[in-house]
Amino acid sequence: MKKIKCLGLVWLLASGLTGFAKDYPVSSAKELSALSLKPGDRVLMKAGEWKDQQLKFKGNGVKGRPIVLMAANAGKTVLNGNSTLDIDGSWLVVDGLSFANGRLDSGEVVNFSEKSFSCRLTNTSVIDYNSSDDKVDYTWVSLRGTHNRVDHCLLKGKNHQGVTMVVWLSEKPNYHQIDHNYFGPRPELGRNGGETIRIGTSTWSFHDSFTLVEENIFEHCDGEIEAVSVKSGRNIVRNNLFYECKATLTLRHGNHSEVIGNYFIGNGKPGTGGVRIIGEDHNVRDNYFQDLTGTGNSAAISVMAGLPNPILVSHWQVKNARITDNLILNCKEPFAIAAGYRKDRYLPALNTYFAKNIILSNVSPLKVYDEKVVVNFEDNLIFSTAFSGEKGRGFELRNEQLKKGSSGLFLRPGQADFKPFWESEQIGPGWFLDINKKFTIN
């Protein structure tokens, strides 16, 4: 019996489940690197300015007992200068840090290493971490490894070259999760390379990522035409708010991704766009588009023309796109067919299915850039004074009015009033004020 009890104690000690966790107060990156951390341990970063600190957070927690690196007072540990953070291990949590007004020459401000697994960055901000030269290229958050999460963070004010947040691919899927974050204003860069989120790269675009982007707010993310650029397969972008973004959610490379239940609110701001579709077997459904002014590539929903004999960086032909149950309201160009068509980019979308969508428009709901493209229209409702040419071919005209809910959003016929996620969920760090403001919908 004693032997059995001893063996049980050995197992508990080995598994890190004994509860003998420790708190380690630190005041520098050097002190952090000297620690030998075990499951359940917490590292408490002293409040104040941390300048030019390269934090290396290493260790292996276990499920239910992660190792935590946290600000002793959330939001009061401020990293600047050329400070960076590298997350390298498993079941590691970073909580409550503030990166502000620093700058790098290359690399990334926060990096999840290639070996990272089930790690988390939460309740953290990166604000105005900019080089004085806007052509200097570095990323604010890089997600490598697998099953990592970035949530309840705030990133705003990036004005230099490079994507704000990148999911980097490898031979195996990532299964990352990006949720409940606030991505604040990013001014126009004037060239390619100003995305807010990019999932993958052109060279890895035929690999699957399985990344979930959910319940984030993108406000005035105007860096370039793609606010979110999907360049890999089997991702889900679900229930996010794109507020007055002079950009689009672009399925740029890769196949089998889903765009579900997102809100695109333009309020008439010039160049505001919706969803751009390139590639195969994408599903775009239950999204809400209102007062967007973009056309062609930046239409509310844009199905692109494809290039013949494409290479990895090309615009691949659209095949088997399913566009269903979307609500498109007062947009300048509700549905663009064969957008980007030209002499060298002419492959028509194949087997496009456009069904059960509701369009409210005082302009023609369809813009066809290539008459050769055949779209399967079915059971769509049109509330329009300018609709012509498609009646009886998958469209039904309605004279009734759509009602607005308490949030200012229009409701589908028969839909009950509801609160959108940004009125009911915590978005961004809990210590950062005024993110969950009421977004005005004209």
User: What is the distance between the alpha carbons of residues 249 and 226, in angstroms, rounded to a whole number?
Assistant: 6
Helix (H) or strand (E) holding 15: helix 2-15
Dihedral of CA 406/285/182/72: which sign?
positive
What is the bridge-based pairing of β-strands 77-80 and 236-238?
unpaired
User: What is the distance between the alpha carbons of residues 87 and 95, in angstroms, rounded to a whole number?
Assistant: 12
DSSP assignment of 23-43 equals: EEEESSHHHHHT----TT-EE
CA dihedral defined by 363, 329, 383, 337, rounded to 10 degrees? 60
What pLDDT score was predicted for residue 390? 52
Q: Which of 77, 74, 127, 73 is nearest to 100 (CA)?
A: 127
What pLDDT score was predicted for residue 184? 96
What is the bridge-based pairing of β-strands 108-112 and 258-260?
unpaired
User: What is the distance between the alpha carbons of residues 9 and 15, in angstroms, rounded to a whole number?
Assistant: 10
What pLDDT score was predicted for residue 168? 98
Dihedral of CA 272/135/107/45: which sign?
negative
Query: Tens-digit pLDDT profile for the chain (442 aa)?
Result: 444 444 444 434 444 455 589 999 999 999 999 999 999 999 999 999 999 999 999 999 999 999 999 999 999 999 999 999 999 999 999 999 999 999 999 999 999 999 999 999 999 999 999 999 999 999 999 999 999 999 999 999 999 999 999 999 999 999 999 999 999 999 999 999 999 999 999 999 999 999 999 999 999 999 999 999 999 999 999 999 999 999 999 999 999 999 999 999 999 999 999 999 999 999 999 999 999 999 999 999 999 999 998 988 899 999 999 999 999 999 999 999 999 999 999 999 999 999 999 999 888 889 999 999 999 999 999 987 666 555 557 999 888 889 999 999 999 999 999 999 999 999 999 998 767 666 888 7
What pLDDT score was predicted for residue 19? 59
CA atoms within 13 A on the CB side of 236: 12
Q: Which amino acid is at 269?
A: K
- Judge whether 211 and 228 are in contact, CB under 8 Å: no
Contacts 24+ apart (CB under 8 A), 114-117: 114/144, 114/145, 114/170, 115/88, 115/89, 115/145, 116/87, 116/88, 116/89, 116/90, 116/92, 116/144, 116/145, 116/146, 116/148, 117/89, 117/90, 117/91, 117/145, 117/146, 117/147, 117/148
DSSP assignment of 243-305 equals: ES-SSEEEEEE-SS-EEES-EEE-TT-TT---EEE-SBS-EEES-EEES----GGGSSEEEEP
Residues 6+ apart with CB under 8 A from 56: 29, 32, 33, 86, 88
Distance separating the N- and C-terminal Cα atoms of the chain: 74
- Based on the number of CB atoms within 10 Å of its own CB, is 14 exposed (0-12), middle (13-18) or buried (19 or more)? exposed
Give residue limits of the domains in the chain.
Answer: 108-424
- Judge whether 142 and 166 are in contact, CB under 8 Å: yes
Q: Locate the DSSP E strands across 64-192.
A: 67-71, 77-80, 84-90, 92-95, 98-100, 108-112, 120-122, 125-127, 139-143, 149-151, 154-156, 165-167, 177-179, 182-183
What pLDDT score was predicted for residue 262? 98
- Judge whether 421 and 215 are in contact, CB under 8 Å: yes
The owner of tokens 């009911």 is 424
pTM of structure: 0.94
- Judge whether 301 and 275 are in contact, CB under 8 Å: yes
Structurally, what CATH architecture does the domain formed by 108-424 represent? Answer: 3 Solenoid (2.160)
What pLDDT score was predicted for residue 398? 85
Q: Which of 161, 169, 200, 164 is nearest to 182 (CA)?
A: 164
User: What is the distance between the alpha carbons of residues 63 and 312, in angstroms, rounded to a whole number?
Assistant: 39
User: What is the distance between the alpha carbons of residues 416 and 419, in angstroms, rounded to a whole number?
Assistant: 10
User: What is the distance between the alpha carbons of residues 279 and 257, in angstroms, rounded to a whole number?
Assistant: 9
DSSP category for residue 318: P
∠325-328-334 over CA atoms, to 5°? 115
Q: Which amino acid is at 394?
A: G
What pLDDT score was predicted for residue 385? 67
